Amino acid sequence: MSMHRFPALIFVLSFVGVAVSLWLSRSFDLVPDCRVFIDGCISISASGRQEPAVFVFRATIIPTGMLLIVTWWLNVQWLRLLGLRRRLPAVVLHVLGTASPVLLICYIALIGSAGEIDHAIRQAVITTYFPATLVAKIILAILLMRLRPDGLPAWLPRVMLVIAVVVLGLAVNSVVVAALMDDPSVVHNLTQWHGTTAFAAWYLLLARAWGQTGFDLRLLLAPDR
């Protein structure tokens, strides 16, 4: 069974979850009705922090976190099938890709609750989950460029690398710029909307890469693997 559509579910679930949550929050006048990608009036989490939007947010983003854990485990198996023999890159990818989404799941489960725990996990998501996953994406793209698997267009891992590096650069830049501003919320919010969109769209490219290389469940289950 071909699994190339599996990573695409990450983009679809996260896109639907945020879009529907934002629509509900606007419909119930829970957030300002503005152009979030231009005005940066609210953060992504703010769009799904209150009822009834929070139910949709949890119902879509928590499964997304679970999909991320499975997807990064599969990424390691995929690279081994493509010829990766070095143990260290596989271990690093496995740790970065499968451990960090646990923070995302915990945060979304607690979103909307008051207290220091919610704030602490939110900071952990920002400072750990996103950077760790972006580093994993960069490593994966570089490994693909070195392995040069049959059927994979040369441009695909390069674009995957560029997107991951740009999003990581956006995050670092927003921290620097915000430090110079009295109210950094707009910068942070804009970075979230643009960066997270590119962050999620990256998995569409991963789905394409899986499909181009013929990544198949039967290959993982083969007795002589």
Could you say which residues of the chain have pLDDT below 70? 1-2, 112-121, 124, 178, 219, 221-225
Q: What is the pLDDT of residue 27?
A: 94
The C-alpha torsion from 195 through 201 and 203 to 206, rounded to 10°, is -110
Q: What is the pLDDT of residue 108?
A: 87
Q: How far is CA 118 from CA 49, 114, 115, 121, 139, in A?
A: 11, 7, 6, 5, 31
Q: Is 100 helix (H, G, I), strand (E, B) or coil?
A: coil
Q: How far is CA 191 from CA 88, 184, 194, 222, in A?
A: 32, 11, 5, 44
